[in-house]
Homo-oligomer: A and B are copies of this chain.
Amino acid sequence: MRDDEKYTNSEDQLLHLQNLLDDPDTTALKAYFTELDILDIARTLESFPAKTRDFLWEFIPDELVGAVLAEVDEDIRADYIEELSASEVEQIVKGLDAQDVAEVLEVADEAIKTSVYDSLDQDIRAQVENLYAYEEDVVGRYMDPETVNVKQGVSLEAVQRYIRIHHLLDDESQQVMITDKDKRLLGTLSLIDLIKQPQDAVVDAHMDDPFTLNDQMKVSDAAVLLRSKELPFVPVCDSDGRLVGQLNAADVLEITQDDTDMTLKHLSGVSNEEEVFTPVLRSAKSRGIWLGINLLTAFLAAFVIGQFEAALDQIVALAILMPVVASMGGIAGSQTLTVVIRGLALGQLAGNNVRWLYNKETWVGMSNGLVWALVVGLIAHVWFSDAMITLVITLAIFINMSVANLSGVLIPMVLKKLQIDPALSGAVILTTVTDVVGFLSFLGLATLIIL
């Protein structure tokens, strides 16, 4: 059993390493990293602030540094590569596969990139070149270009022998591709069938007609597809139907995971790159942008309030209750917004479904609006014993919550039409709407009815 098995969760592992760091013992630290695999090392590095991380790099076995680099967050990779000379980077990428080499070189300066590029094995260089030929967000950039290809009419036994002689499968292989002489994909044969089926059968008899992806498809769309179909891998073909590689679910599931993570961050005004251990300055700067945008929103709301100075001057209860109206609308709207953004991400919103959703949210908004308007009205009445104030706040809550739910659908749908990511700016726009509508309806009604 491997040593890391004794850690039932990563927090224990983290504490153990921190103990080693408290009184740094070079031998123990080296031993610690020798026992971990590449992914464990990457996750460990991501769990420390930059200063400690720089110290930890020293104890990672030299032959693993390249693979670990390809695995860690891009920011961490860039910080590490920045400090290295061309010959050090050359050393690091030696033995990596094309995908990993491409990841590492991507964050290097142009000068280093070119120099390392020239030092690569011809095979790897050609593959890296192929990957770089794709746009950054398409399937071709994420696929594994190496696949095991066999011809039609071959027996399973022959395929097995061929694999053994040429040492063909790698750790992630799950199938063999059957192609014609032009490398056009005819079908796939799973390793399971390769073992399970009679060995004198020909590959054609047991090949599956696979779902395939075009190499120019957006990788985020591909990720959603693979996830919804729970496929472990998909062959990738170019527009002529020629097999060019395969996309592994493991790489792509990370993208959908990151997608939800990104939505979460964006809705809270955090940039996509920020993690717990992002340094102070970088965090402060990236959050500052969102705070600035929010400031515009807040002052727009303040400006709306400013239009009703007369009312506020006469009735202090308005100032006291006004945040309640904005807050209830804000929550109602963001509930809807979150559900709609998830629905959009899952591709569930098209055609008639959208109309159905508008109807639903109108009803939810109006019914919840009614219930909570009455509750708030009652509390306000007990507090201020003023029928006019009760009337005004009841109406305002109802209006703001109804508008909020409808905006929660309308805003992301419009943003999507405009090709803007709804998660990115949806929350800010929504808050602006619920603040403005809330203050406008509450103070406006008060001016009309009471003054």
Measured CB to CB, the residues of A under 8 A from B are 1-2, 4-5, 8-11, 14-15, 18, 21, 37, 39-40, 43, 46-49, 160, 163-164, 167-171, 173-174, 191-192, 194-199, 209, 211-212, 214, 217, 221, 224-225, 227-230, 232, 250, 253, 256-257, 260-261, 263-265, 267-270, 274-280, 283-284, 287-288, 290-292, 294-295, 297-299, 301-302, 305-306, 309, 312-313, 316, 318-324, 326-328, 331-332, 334-335, 337-340, 342-343, 346-353, 356-357, 360, 363-364, 367-368, 371-372, 375-376, 379, 383, 431, 435, 439
Contact = CB atoms under 8 A, between A and B. Distances in A.
Contact of A342 (B4, B227, B275, B338): B275
B270 A339 contact: yes
A221 to B, nearest CB: 5
A198 B5 CA distance: 30
A368 B319 contact: no
A299 B40 CA distance: 48
Contacts of A264: 260, 263-264, 267, 338, 342
13 contacts: A1-B212, A9-B225, A11-B349, A39-B228, A40-B228, A47-B347, A264-B267, A268-B335, A279-B360, A284-B363, A302-B321, A306-B383, A312-B316
B326 A323 contact: yes
Given A228-B40, A268-B337, A298-B324, A348 B277 contact: yes
Which 9 pairs of residues, A with B, have the shortest CB-CB distance? A276-B343, A10-B347, A319-B319, A268-B338, A47-B348, A298-B327, A298-B324, A11-B350, A260-B260
Contacts of A198: 164
A364 B279 CA distance: 9
A350 B15 CA distance: 6
B270 A335 contact: yes
Nearest to A281: B367
A169 B335 CA distance: 45
Given A301-B323, A306-B320, 6 more contacts: A1-B212, A2-B211, A39-B228, A191-B191, A265-B342, A269-B334
A327 to B, nearest CB: 4
A368 B288 contact: yes
Nearest to A363: B280
A253 B267 CA distance: 23
Contacts of A367: 280, 284
A189 to B, nearest CB: 11
A409 to B, nearest CB: 10
A208 to B, nearest CB: 10
A10 B228 contact: yes
Contacts of A232: 232, 250
Contact of A284 (B309, B353, B364): B364
A351 B261 CA distance: 25
B195 A276 contact: no
A291 to B, nearest CB: 6
Contacts of A277: 348, 353, 356
Contact of A169 (B195, B305, B371): B195
Nearest to A176: B195
B2 A347 contact: no
A396 to B, nearest CB: 13
A267 B335 CA distance: 9
Contact of A287 (B8, B228, B256, B335): B335
B280 A368 contact: no
A48 B164 contact: no
Given A169-B195, A335-B269, A351-B18, A372 B295 contact: yes
